[in-house]
Chain A
Amino acid sequence: MIRLIWAKEVRAELYTWRSALWLLLASLIFSFTSYLLLTNKELTLLDQTELLWLLGKIIVGTALLMVTIDASSILTSEFEHHTAESLFIAPIRLRDLVIGKFLASLTLWGALYVVAVPYMIVAAAGTRLAPAFLGYVALLGTLGVAAMVLLALGIAFLFRSSKNALTTTLVVLLGLTVPALFTSALKSGFVARVFERINPVDSIFAALDNVLVDYQLSPLQNGRFLLPLAGFLAAAFAFAVFAAWRFERQGIVRSGS
C-alpha cells in the first residue's frame, strides 16, 4: 500500500510538465549561481572550496524550501479536494498513508539532487573533494529535508488547511534559516550561540563548511553538526506521530465541529 501511495504522489508531482516545472526552475537557479561564481570578479577570488560551500548551501537551501512547500500541501490537498473522506474510508492505514506521502516528498529531494549532481561534479573539478561534496550534500540534505517534511506533515494534520499549514511551516523554516545566515559577529551572544548549536540549518551550513573548507571529512569530525540534525529529525518524527495520533482520535470530521 505504501508503494501505491508513493507512486501515485510521485506521478502527480513529476508526470505533467506543469507539476515538474519547479525542477526546471531549480536547475536555472543552479545554472545562474554557477555562472555568477564564474564571472563575478569578487566571487571568483574566493577559494574553490568556498565556492563549493556556497553552491552546497544553495542546493540544500533550495531543496529545503521546495520540498517543504510541497510537503505542506501533499496532505492538506486531500482535505481541500474532498478526497480525504473516501481515502480514510478505504482500507488504508494512516501510517501507510503518511509513510507513502513522506517517501514521495523525499523522492522530490532525490530528483532535485540528481539535477544538482552535474553542477557539483563540475564545480569540484580539480579538487579531491567531489566524493565528499556529493556525499555530504546527500547526507545533510536528506536529514534536513526529512525533518522538514515530517514537521510539515505534522502541521498539516493539525491545521488541515493548505494555507495555514504552508504559512506556518514556511515561517518555521524562515525562523531557522535567517539566523543561520547571520554573520559571526551577530552570533557572538550567549543566546545566539546556543541557538546556533541547536539550529539544524546552522548545523547543515557549518558541516558543509567543516568538510569543504576545513577538510574535516570523516563523520566523526562532523559529529557535533550531525547530532543536532539527528535530534531535530527525531523531534520532527515525534511531532508527526503525535499529530497523526491526535488526527486519528479526532477523526476526519473533527469532533465538536
Chain B
Amino acid sequence: MTQRLVILWAVLLAASASCVAAASPGAPLVLGIASAQTLNGVAGDYVTVAARIENTSDQAVSDVTTYLSLVNTADKLPVDLEDWSAEKGLYVGVIESGQALPLDWKIHFVKPGHYALTVVALVAGREMPAVSPVVYFRVEPKNSLDPGHILPVALGMPVVLGLLLLLLNYRRRTRP
C-alpha cells in the first residue's frame, strides 16, 4: 500500500512538473552583454552592442522576440530608435535547451548625451520579459568644422573686404 502511494505521489509530482513547464514555456532566458558596459563616441559614430541570449532551462523556448530599449538618462525619457538602429527588434524564434545565441546590434550615435540601453527578450505567453544588464552610452557632440579655424575667416573676410572698399573709396576721393 505504502509503495503504491509513493508511486502515485511520484506520478502526480511528475505530472504537476510538466504542467508548470507548459504554463511557462521555457525556463529562464538569460541575456548578457559581451561588449563593454559603457560605450563612448562622438555623434555620428557607429558602435556595436554585442549581446548574448541563452536558454538555461532544460526545454526549448519558442516564439522569442528581442528588442532594444533606449533611454536618455539626462532627460529621463525613452528615445525613438528610428535613426539609432536599423534593426529595432529581432525575432529569434526557437532557442533549444542550453543553446546560446549572439545578438549584435549596430547602433548609430545620433545625438550627443548620456543614454542607457537594454536588450529585452519577450517570450509569447510569458508575463515577465528577460532583460539584459544596462549598457551606457556617452555620446560627445560632433563639430564637423573646426570653430578655431572657420571663425577667423567667417569674421575676418567681411571686415577685410569692408576695409578694402573703404580704402578704394578714399583713394578715389583723394586722387587729383
Contacts and interface: CB of A to CB of B under 8 A. Distances in A.
A31 B158 contact: yes
B129 interface: no
Interface residues of A, number: 31
B172 A15 contact: yes
A20 B158 contact: no
Contact of A44 (B144, B149, B161, B172): B144
B11 to A, nearest CB: 66
State the main secondary structure of chain A at its contact with B.
helix
Nearest to A118: B153
Given A16-B169, A17-B166, A123-B150, A44 B157 contact: no
Given A17-B166, A17-B169, A38-B147, A24 B153 contact: no
B165 interface: yes
Contacts of A51: 144-145
Contacts of A23: 161, 165
Contacts of A38: 143-145, 147, 150-151
A115 B162 CA distance: 12
Contacts of B15: none
State the main secondary structure of chain B at its contact with A.
helix
Interface string B152-173: 0111011001100110110010
B145 A31 contact: no
Given A17-B168, A44-B142, A45-B43, A122 B149 contact: yes
B120 interface: no
Contact of B165 (A21, A32, A37, A125): A21
A171 B161 CA distance: 31
A189 interface: no
Interface string A120-152: 001101100000000000000000000000000
Nearest to A25: B158
B44 interface: yes
Nearest to B160: A27
B161 A31 contact: no
Interface string B43-63: 110000000000000000000
Contacts of B141: 41, 44
Contact of A34 (B145, B161, B168): B145
Given A44-B141, A45-B110, A115-B157, 6 more contacts: A17-B168, A24-B162, A27-B161, A44-B144, A45-B111, A119-B153
Interface of A: 15-17, 20-21, 23-24, 27-28, 30-32, 34-35, 37-38, 41, 43-48, 51, 115, 118-119, 122-123, 125-126
**Closest 4 pairs between A and B when the two form their complex, measured CB to CB:** A17-B165, A31-B154, A17-B169, A48-B144
